[in-house]
Amino acid sequence: MRGWWRRIPRRWLLAAIGGAVVLLAGAAVAAYFYKRDRTGSVYHPHARFVPMPAPTLPKAGPERFAWPLYGYTKNHTRNFPAPANVRPPFRRVWSHDTHSLLEFPPVIYGDRIYQLADSGTLYAYDKHTGTVLWTRQLGTLSASTPAVDAKTVYATVLETGISGIAGRVWALNAATGQTRWHRDLSSPSESSPLLDRGRLYFGSQGGLVYALDARNGQVVWTYQAAGSVKASPTLAYGNLYFGDYSGRVQAISEQTGRRVWLASSEGALFGSGTFYSTCAVIYGRVFLGNTDGRMYAYDAFSGSLDWAVQTGNYVYSSPAIADTPGLGPTVYFGSYDGTFYALDARSGARRWTFDAHGRISGSPTVIGRIVYFADLGEKITYGLGVSTGRVEYRADTGSFDPVISDSHDIYLSGTTGLYDLAPTG
């Protein structure tokens, strides 16, 4: 068979060779644009930016204090204006080991803390002593933060452990843990619920976003996204904002569930990255990370892209936003490249970075003048100065979203344990 190609007509050979060259050239061009799109940053320097006043401490007394939602506020800026003395060093007041991964932080209402472990167990603690007041096994797997008000705590379930029931949302008596109502879902949910004016909002892996009557669990409306919605919906300007696993970010009306705008991640040539990150909405912009390695900023009213900054790896982290002394409005987040970033919220320009030496999956929280985050690779929680990026605190535990506060203490979610830490100053 040696020399078989000699019997093929010359024009066929030339055509085949030419086709192969075209294919190779096309592949090279596609690879170039793919790499360029995956690694490039985008800046629109004249995009709209709406100044906002700095947040203030809540006026309610300690017995009425609430950190009621994932990210503290409904616009999910993850910024708590704690008094100046709520800072390191700390002493441990109490701790409790759940013996299960704590992927998401707890919430607070009055004297109680509620935390949902990845095991599907919901814990209610006395905030002052760490005493477990009650527990409820809601399923076999959860990955979200509950929502709470004076009477009820709400939680979503990723795996129910019940054949034929993919997911479930619960409403429990906050004082006793007894069931008020529950609703079975057509797909699992790891979306931290948002509670606003008698309605409960959350997404699901099937892409369905729900608005439920918080009193009884009845469906008010649903919205079908093109991919899984794993983030918590973010409320601002009368709209709910979220990304999905099709690589799109959208705004829908809180009242009706109708779409206001839809934008893409403008990711790779062969497909967008996915949005796991929960949006932070402030300054007339929507900030969120994507697995294409970028942190994005969109116009909150039109969906137009304001800027996108490329890191070296996935960005699962939800951003924290603060008007930082000496820097101005700043976006804080981590990347799987092991770097923690502080970017100018207006332009996307880099303010400072910190090398954590391990992938960062969870989200940061600003407490006063310190931004806290956990390094999943090294299982370390860091507290950095918001203006400088210098290490102010370090704990050898923590994997995802580490810290909340009641303006007196901080409550640190370690890898499996919850810790009450009081300032010693």
Residue 381 in 3-state DSSP?
strand
Amino acid at the residue 425: G
Distances in whole angstroms, Cα of residue 27 to Cα of each of 31, 35, 86, 269, 420: 6, 12, 56, 12, 56
Position with higher pLDDT, 210 vs 24? 210
DSSP letter string, 15-33: HHHHHHHHHHHHHHHHHHH
Q: Is the pLDDT of residue 126 over 80?
A: yes
Structure confidence by residue, pLDDT tens digits, 371-382 = 999 999 999 999
CA gap 370, 330 in Å, rounded:
13
Structure tokens at 120: 């599907």
Q: What is the pLDDT of residue 61?
A: 60
Residue 234 β-bridge partners? 241
CA gap 246, 269 in Å, rounded:
14
E-state strands within 290-362: 294-299, 305-310, 320-324, 328-334, 339-344, 350-355
Q: Is the dihedral of CA 125, 131, 137, 141 positive or negative?
A: positive
**Mean pLDDT estimate for the chain:** 89
Query: Domain spans of the chain?
Result: 40-133+241-254+262-423
Structure confidence by residue, pLDDT tens digits, 347-386 = 999 999 999 999 999 999 999 999 999 999 999 999 999 9
Q: What is the pLDDT of residue 158?
A: 95
Contact yes or no for 108/405 (Cβ under 8 A): no
Q: What is the pLDDT of residue 18?
A: 53
Reference 152, options 217, 73, 211, 98; nearest CA is 217
Structure confidence by residue, pLDDT tens digits, 324-341 = 999 999 999 999 999 999
CA gap 19, 225 in Å, rounded:
40
Q: Is the pLDDT of residue 16 over 90?
A: no
Mean pLDDT, residues 165-169: 95
- Fold (CATH) for 40-133+241-254+262-423: Lipocalin (2.40.128)
State which H helix or E strand residue 39 sits in. Answer: helix 10-39
CA gap 39, 227 in Å, rounded:
24
Write phi, then psi, for 222 (nearest 5 degrees): -135, 155
CA gap 290, 307 in Å, rounded:
13
Distances in whole angstroms, Cα of residue 323 to Cα of each of 135, 281, 320, 386: 38, 14, 10, 10
pLDDT band at 63 (very low <50, low <70, confident <90, very high): low
Residue at token pair 């090398």: 355
Position with higher pLDDT, 425 vs 250? 250
CA gap 380, 356 in Å, rounded:
9
Residue 344 β-bridge partners? 330
Contact yes or no for 418/96 (Cβ under 8 A): yes
Contact yes or no for 280/297 (Cβ under 8 A): no
Q: What is the DSSP letter of 270?
A: T
- Residue count (the chain): 425
Residue 239 β-bridge partners? 236, 253
pLDDT band at 50 (very low <50, low <70, confident <90, very high): confident
Q: Is the pLDDT of residue 202 over 90?
A: yes
Mean pLDDT, residues 150-165: 95
Position with higher pLDDT, 60 vs 145? 145
Contact yes or no for 82/423 (Cβ under 8 A): no
CA gap 111, 357 in Å, rounded:
37
CA gap 2, 174 in Å, rounded:
82
Structure confidence by residue, pLDDT tens digits, 209-263 = 999 999 999 999 999 999 999 999 999 999 999 999 999 999 999 999 999 999 9
Q: What is the pLDDT of residue 6?
A: 39
